[in-house]
Structures are given as C-alpha cells and as structure tokens.
Amino acid sequence: MLRSLSSGVSGIQQFQGKLDVIGNNIANSNTLGYKSSRADFEDTFSQTMQMPGPTAGVQLGNGVTTGAVRSLFQQGTVTKTGLDSDMAIDGDGFFTVKDSQSGQDFVTRAGDFRVDSNGYLVTNTGLRVQGYSGSGLSTRGDILIDATGKPATAAADAIVARFSVDDTGKIKVKLSDGSEYVRGQVLLQRFQDPNALIKEGNNLFSGMALAGPLAQSDVPGTNGLGNIRGASIEESNVDLASEFASMIVTQRGFQASARIITTSDEMLQELVNLKR
C-alpha cells in the first residue's frame, strides 16, 4: 500500500480537527473572558530506509498528527459596563470561585458576577467568588456584600445602597446614609502553565494543581497579577479576521489531502490494470 494514501488520510483527519478548533473559536467570539485555541500539528514517526552516514539518510514520513490544542491567554478587550458587580482582570490572573455544595474550587477569567439573594458575590451559575471576606482583610472565604462591619457612625438601619471595586480588588460599600467602608477584597490566582488547566464549561477551569499555581491567591497588582477594573468586563480575545484566514488555509489543506488520496488511488488502479 502506498504511504501517501495513509498520509492523505491522516491529513484529512487532522485538518478536520483543526477546523473544529476554529469553529469553536468563532462560536465563542462573544463569550466573556474566552481564550481562543490553536491546533499544533506534528509529523508522525518516519520509517528509516537508510541510516545517515557517508551517504545521505533516507527517511519516509507517514503523515501528520495533532501534537496539542493550546489556549492563547492574551488579554481580551476590557469594556466598561457600569454594573457594580462586573469585574475584568487587566493583565495576568484568574478569579477563584467555589461551589458551596461540593466545596470544589474553579478559576475563571469571566467577571460577569452578580449578588445573590443572600448577599454573596457569585457567578451566573451560583459559584461564590473567593477573597478576603471581612473588613479586616485577613479572613479568606466567600465574599459577602452586606452591612456587616459598617462604621460605628453609620445609622443603625442603614443598608447597602451600592458598591464599587478598586484596582486592588477592594470592595467599597456605600450605605443608604452615605457611609462608606471596605467590606472585603477580591483575590486573584495565577499559573506557571495555564495550558495545563482543564476547561469545565461555563467559562470555568479546573486542574489548578497541575498548572503551577501560587501558594495561595494574592492581591491584584502584586506577584505578577494584573489589576481589577470595576464595572467592566473582559471580552473574548478571538480575532475573527485571523480565524477566517486560518479557516481558508485549513480548507485548502483538507482539499489537498483529499487529492493525495485520489491520486494514490489512481496509481493503485494503474498497478492493478498492469495484469490486463
């Protein structure tokens, strides 16, 4: 059997996989905090027909395979929304969120948070944002936005009117009587190898232990972490122009691989016809 036939088949398979990656990128071009992916090809094991020595070596390849599908963690565009609970990371880092039922931690770049009926700062699926949970900025846990820890000068019946988040993640609450104070602080996590993270859907990542995390989440703007932009969100970093260009190249590669199979088939047919 001609090696070119199996090489053409491998090309079709890998280009199809690359098209799947491109299609997923385009589909998530408006997904908050989404990081585009890239399929990296590698050549497969080559058969050595003649070892290199006094004469040139002869090695015949057997096609192509996909070495990795990598996420590209470049910064997405930060857009101002004016919504108090929205946050964007300007630079490196991830928000840490926790499932209050299972206790499992996840990280995310999507900062489209909300305040639930109990006052917790949560994701759209109800996972609680982690950081310093008290005004003393010493206790770590679920971030709660309420009137706990309000100044002694505040009215007894004062309630939370609104809140804001500064560049270092401090949550500043403004009460209905005009009093202001720091209620807590959002902390960030970063990784040596973010491509080791596992995508869980809903803009979440798990597998933090294998990605080389900091010993513990830290204050934004320190330890290589980016700053937080309050009342803002980070858009997807997908470049549609580049994705469509890659799609065209991938399509042509797929067609060329298919043509290899067709040509190999014609050559085999000629060999069979030699008997006639």
Q: Are residues 200 and 115 in the same domain?
A: yes
CA dihedral sign of residues 99, 105, 110, 116 = positive
- For residue 1, the model assigns a pLDDT of 56
Q: Are residues 244 and 217 in the same domain?
A: no
Q: Are residues 229 and 258 in the same domain?
A: no
> Which H or E run contains 251?
helix 240-273
Contacts of 58 (CB under 8 A, 6+ apart): 48, 49, 50
Residue 254 and residue 8 in contact, taking contact as beta carbons nearer than 8 Å = no
Q: Are residues 148 and 163 in the same domain?
A: yes
What value does the mean pLDDT take over residues 103-111?
Answer: 97
Structural domain span for residue 11:
3-48+58-71+238-273
- For residue 41, the model assigns a pLDDT of 95
Please determine, for residue 276, whether its predicted confidence score (pLDDT) is greater than 70: no
CA dihedral sign of residues 27, 33, 36, 37 = negative
Judging by DSSP bridges, how do beta strands 78-80 and 170-175 pair with one another?
unpaired
Q: Are residues 246 and 216 in the same domain?
A: no
Please determine, for residue 212, whether its predicted confidence score (pLDDT) is greater than 90: yes
Please determine, for residue 200, whether its predicted confidence score (pLDDT) is greater than 80: yes
Q: Are residues 222 and 118 in the same domain?
A: yes
Q: Per-residue pLDDT tens for 6-40?
A: 899 999 999 999 999 999 999 999 999 999 999 99
User: Which has the closest alpha carbon to 233: 36, 33, 28, 71?
Assistant: 33
Q: Are residues 116 and 139 in the same domain?
A: yes
Measured CA to CA, the distance from residue 121 to residue 253 in angstroms comes to 47
Is pLDDT larger for residue 150 or for residue 237? 237
Least confident of 31-35, 179-183, 250-254, 269-273: 269-273
200 occurs within a structural domain: yes
Q: What single-letter amino acid sits at 129?
A: V
- For residue 50, the model assigns a pLDDT of 82
> Which H or E run contains 248?
helix 240-273
Three-state DSSP class for 32? coil
> Which H or E run contains 45?
none
87 occurs within a structural domain: yes
Residue 260 and residue 62 in contact, taking contact as beta carbons nearer than 8 Å = no
213 occurs within a structural domain: yes
Q: Are residues 62 and 95 in the same domain?
A: no
Please determine, for residue 4, whether its predicted confidence score (pLDDT) is greater than 90: no
Residue found under tokens 């597998």: 207
For the chain, give the mean pLDDT.
Answer: 93
Q: Are residues 254 and 224 in the same domain?
A: no
Q: Are residues 114 and 202 in the same domain?
A: yes
262 occurs within a structural domain: yes
Residue 27, judged by CB atoms within 10 A of its CB (0-12, 13-18, 19+), counts as: exposed
Residue 68, judged by CB atoms within 10 A of its CB (0-12, 13-18, 19+), counts as: exposed
**pLDDT > 70 in the chain, percent:** 99
Q: Are residues 130 and 227 in the same domain?
A: yes
Most distant pair of Cα atoms in the chain: their distance = 104
- For residue 261, the model assigns a pLDDT of 92
Q: How many domains does the chain have?
A: 2
- For residue 192, the model assigns a pLDDT of 96
Interhelix angle for 240-273 vs 3-27, to 10°?
Answer: 160
Q: Are residues 116 and 203 in the same domain?
A: yes
53 occurs within a structural domain: no
Determine how many CB atoms are found less than 10 A away from the CB of residue 56. 7
